[in-house]
Each structure stands twice: as C-alpha cells, then as structure tokens.
Chains A and B, each alone.
Chain A
Amino acid sequence: MILEIIEQIAILLFVPPLFIGIINKMKAWAAGRKGAPLFQFYFDLWKLLKKGEVYSRTATWIFTAGPIISLASIFCAGFILPLALSSSPLGFKGDIILFAYLLAFGHFFILLSALDTGSSFEGMGASRGAAFSAFSEPAFFLSLAILCIHAKSVTFKDVFHALPWATWGFAHPVYLVAALALFAVLLAENSRIPVDDPNTHLELTMIHEVMVLDHGGPDLAFILYGSSLKFFLQAVLLVHLLLPLPSTNWYFGIFYLFIGVFGVGILVALVESAVARIRLSRVPQFLIGASILAVLGLILSFYKGAP
C-alpha cells in the first residue's frame, strides 16, 4: 500500500507535463510541423523554477498564495481520484463531491490572484474564467451524478466498480452521454480550442492565459503545472468512464490507464486541429449544451425501462 501511494505521488508529479507534450506533438504532426520536443514542458517548468519573482506594488499576499493554494488543492484532488485498481490513498465515502470542489477551489484561487493584481485586463480574464466555469460546473457535476445514480454511491471506488464492461457499447448509451458531456467540460475547463486557445496571446480571445499574465518564475511554474495536473486528472476520469479497468493488478492497471490517457490526449489534439475556436459569446451555449446532455443522461437514468 505504501509503495502504491509513493507511485501515485510519482505519477502525479511527473506524468502530466508529458501528457501536455504528447498533445502538443500530436497537434504539430496534424498541422504538418515537427513540433517542440516531447519533454519541452519539463524544460519550461525547470526554467521557471530557477527564476525569481517580480511582484507589483498593488499585489497583496493573495497574489503570492493563489498559485500555491491552487496547486495544493489540485494535488489533493489527485490523491482522491483512484488511478488504477479503483482504490485511492485518500478515498472515503462521498469523495466525488470533494474531488469536484477541490478542482473548483483551485480555479477560484487562480481567479482571486488574478483579481489581486489590480490590472483591469486580468480582471476581465477573471470575469470570463468565473463565468465559463460557472457554466461548465453543472455539466461536470450532473455527469458525475449520472455515474453516482447507477452505482447508488457517491464514492469513486464504488462508482468505478459498478461500471459495466464496455461502457461505450450500444447497451449503455447513458455512459456515452455522460462521457460526451465530460469531454466538453474537459475541453472548456482546460482552455482547449473550441472554447479557448492555449497558444494565442491575443487579448480578445484569451481566458486562462489572461489570468496568469502577471505571474512569473516559480508562481507561473506552479500554475502551469497545476493546470496540466488538472487536465490529467479529468482525462483519467474520462478514461475510467470509457475503459473500465479489467485487471486487479496495479501495474497492468497503470499501464492500461496510460494508454487510455494518451488516447484522450490524441483525441483532444485531433479536436483542436480539426475544429475552429467558437466565438466568445457562443461559449456559454456550448457549455449549456453539455449541461443539457448531462440532464438528458440523468432523465434516462430515471426513466423506467431505460436502456
């Protein structure tokens, strides 16, 4: 058990930047470019960690604390989510709700530290970030609720145990609906292309990038690593939903999970390469659509004789 906890820490520490690297490489290939090295994100983080910080005179302690608290809460969420074997170091009854709100709490502190800089530009970004996460939260929470209803439990362990083999099959369209809603949330929450473009520095369109413009050095490294960790965790959730782990062997489970997560990464990269970013005023509609899909799944779960 101790060994598994150490391994979970190691995975949470070292794999998420690789996940981002795979997405970027895949996007570059899809566009016919060579792309940055697979491990570029590690080099960036290392470079940022070696630098010093510059703080604005208007900033208070919230600005300094924001990235640290955000990273800490996302890391705690990583301890709650079972990686393989459907058991986690910190699993307890009702941990799904804590997981969802730890992720939201991390986001909230990024917003606070963006507001704390006193720059109107970052305030605008924080407002966008708050609005869009308010729209994506019902979709996220309702799709988790679908899983909880089918497992009759609010614990990750029971939920993952209750998932049938081959959730992608025709027999269980409810799970497909939930997975679709979760995928939309994954794209929106991690500032991926239909909602936000992770590459642009164009003021009109940025959401996540705007909020972190005034951070530098280790603070920025914490934020970047925290957002990659959040992305990784949500991808893991999606993989658990679509490919329920067949084995009780920890190492095989982790191997299976990695293949699934990298599959999600490739899927995200393909979506990013194929789809155009939607207009900012249409983003709420995209997220409302995801929420309505989740509501449809919820209705299906309560409907008698449901498939």
Chain B
Amino acid sequence: MIQDANFILLIVIVLDLYIVSSSRLDTCVNATALQGAALAFLPFALWWKQASSGEMIGLLLIGAGTFVVKSLLIPFLIFRSIREANVRREVEPSISLHFSLFTAAVFVAGSFWMASIVVFPQSPPASLIVPAAFVGVLVGFLLLVSRQKAITQVVGYLILENGIFIFGQILFKELPFIVELGILLDLLVGVLVMGIAINHISRQFDHIDVNRLDELKG
C-alpha cells in the first residue's frame, strides 16, 4: 500500500512539472483535475490498512470529497471562467516556459534535499510525502508569481493547496477529518469567488491580465 502511495505521489510530482511546462490553459486545468483525482486515492493508500471503522468513514468522506471537489467541481468552474473570459493560452508568461521548467526542476531537487534533512516527530508514512508536498507548495508559488493570466494563477493556488493537502496526510491520525472537509469547502468557495471575479473583470475590461489589474477603476 505504501508503494501505491509513493506511486501516486510520483504522479503528482510529474503532473506539477507538466503543468509548469504547458502553455494551454485547458491542459493546465485538466492536469490539475487529474492531480486532484490522484490525490483522492492517497488517504486510502496510506491509511486504509490500519484504520479503525470510525476512521474508515473519515477516509471515505475525505476521498469522495476530494474527488468531487478537486477533480469535478473546481475544473468545471474554471472551464466556465475560461469560456466566459475567452482565453486559450498563457501568451507571455513573465518567466519563459523553458526557464520556469528549469526552476521547477531545481525546486524538485531542493524539495528532495529538504525532505532528507528535515526531522519529523513521527516519521512520514510514505517516503515521498514530504518531497511531493514541498514540490506542490513551491511550484504553486512559482505559478502564482510568474503567470500573467488570472486563470493560471488559480491553477497555481490549487497546486499549492494540493501540496498542503499532502502534508496534512501525515497527520491523519491526529487531525479530525472534519478539518480536512472544511478546508475543501474553503477551497471550493475560494475558486468560486475567483471565478466570479474573473468573469466580472473580463466582462468589464476585456482582459484578465494580472499586470494591468492596478489600472482598474470602478
């Protein structure tokens, strides 16, 4: 089971790299949805063997909630925003795609290095959890600072949150699952609000270029 968890985490890392290197918005969102679907299986792979019956219900709820929110609802909302705002691709990211791919690779190496020196009070259940979480957080930040379109920034935010979700899996035994579900709800509402904001901005000003947002006047 730990092997399956490591496999899922490796898929998540590879998808992070794929998202950084692609310029099409719909490819990014599809990859994010796939990442969400992969993460939905992570709690099962990590904890199902040793869970009590009460915890099993929590696992089921977290898995189902993650799947529905991260790989169905949020992509649906973002695709609606893409359709409304009528953007197809990230035309000129402030860092070129080659360079952001290199940066992401450096982040991957750095995450593995950090994961090998950071000491945890209890050892993580699967060896790739900590590096995958670091990669998610760092790549999410990279997308947030380097992309011009608001939609790619939402994708960056989602990847960041996925990294934090992976971190949270270390604490499954201590953390009540209701907290995890609350975070999911927050995320959904956040994306919903961002989608609505993007729609309004693009309707009012004909673009969703983040660099020009400071010129907006009501």
A304 touches B108 (CB 8 A): no
Chain B: CB-nearest residue to A173: B10
Flag whether B84 is at the interface (Cβ < 8 A): no
In the complex, chain A residues whose CB is within 8 Å of the CB of B102: 288, 292
A303 touches B3 (CB 8 A): no
Flag whether B101 is at the interface (Cβ < 8 A): yes
Flag whether A275 is at the interface (Cβ < 8 A): no
Residues of chain B whose beta carbon lies under 8 Å from any beta carbon of chain A: 3-4, 6-7, 10, 13-14, 17-18, 21, 97-98, 101-102, 104-105, 108-109, 112, 115-116, 127-128, 131
Give complex CA distance A299, B17 in Å. Answer: 15
In the complex, chain A residues whose CB is within 8 Å of the CB of B116: 303-304
In the complex, chain B residues whose CB is within 8 Å of the CB of A289: 17-18, 21, 101
Q: Which of A259-307 contact B (CB under 8 A)?
A: 284-285, 288-289, 292-293, 295-296, 299-300, 303-307
State the main secondary structure of chain B at its contact with A.
Answer: helix
Q: Which residue of the partner chain, among B6, B97, B101, B115, contacts A292 with CB atoms under 8 Å?
A: B101
A295 touches B109 (CB 8 A): yes
Flag whether A170 is at the interface (Cβ < 8 A): yes
Residues of chain A whose beta carbon lies under 8 Å from any beta carbon of chain B: 170-171, 173, 177, 284-285, 288-289, 292-293, 295-296, 299-300, 303-307
Q: In the assembled complex, how far is the CB of residue A185 from the closest CB belonging to chain B, in whole angstroms? A: 17
A285 touches B98 (CB 8 A): yes
**How many A-B contacts if CB must be within 8 Å?**
57
A307 touches B7 (CB 8 A): yes
Apart from A170-B3, A284-B98, A307-B128, 18 more pairs, CB < 8 Å: A170-B6, A171-B3, A173-B6, A285-B97, A289-B18, A289-B101, A292-B104, A293-B14, A295-B108, A296-B13, A296-B105, A299-B112, A303-B112, A303-B115, A304-B116, A306-B127, A307-B3, A307-B6
Give complex CA distance A173, B11 in Å. Answer: 9
Give complex CA distance A170, B4 in Å. Answer: 6
In the complex, chain A residues whose CB is within 8 Å of the CB of B4: 170
A285 touches B108 (CB 8 A): no
B14 touches A296 (CB 8 A): yes
A303 touches B97 (CB 8 A): no
B108 touches A299 (CB 8 A): yes
A177 touches B10 (CB 8 A): yes
Question: Could you list 7 A-B pairs, sorted by A, with CB under 8 Å?
Answer: A170-B4, A170-B7, A177-B10, A285-B98, A289-B21, A299-B109, A303-B116
In the complex, chain B residues whose CB is within 8 Å of the CB of A293: 14, 17
In the complex, chain A residues whose CB is within 8 Å of the CB of B10: 173, 177, 300, 307
In the complex, chain A residues whose CB is within 8 Å of the CB of B128: 307
Q: In the assembled complex, how far is the CB of residue B30 from the closest CB belonging to chain A, in whole angstroms? A: 15
Q: In the assembled complex, how far is the CB of residue A126 from the closest CB belonging to chain B, in whole angstroms? A: 23
Chain A: CB-nearest residue to B17: A292
Also in contact, A292 and B3, with CB within 8 A (given A173-B10, A284-B98, A303-B127):
no
Q: Which residue of the partner chain, among A177, A292, A305, contacts B105 with CB atoms under 8 Å?
A: A292
Give complex CA distance A32, B115 in Å. Answer: 51
In the complex, chain B residues whose CB is within 8 Å of the CB of A303: 112, 115-116, 127, 131
In the complex, chain A residues whose CB is within 8 Å of the CB of B7: 170, 173, 307
Top 7 closest pairs, chain A to chain B, by CB:
A305-B127, A307-B6, A170-B7, A292-B105, A173-B10, A171-B3, A170-B3
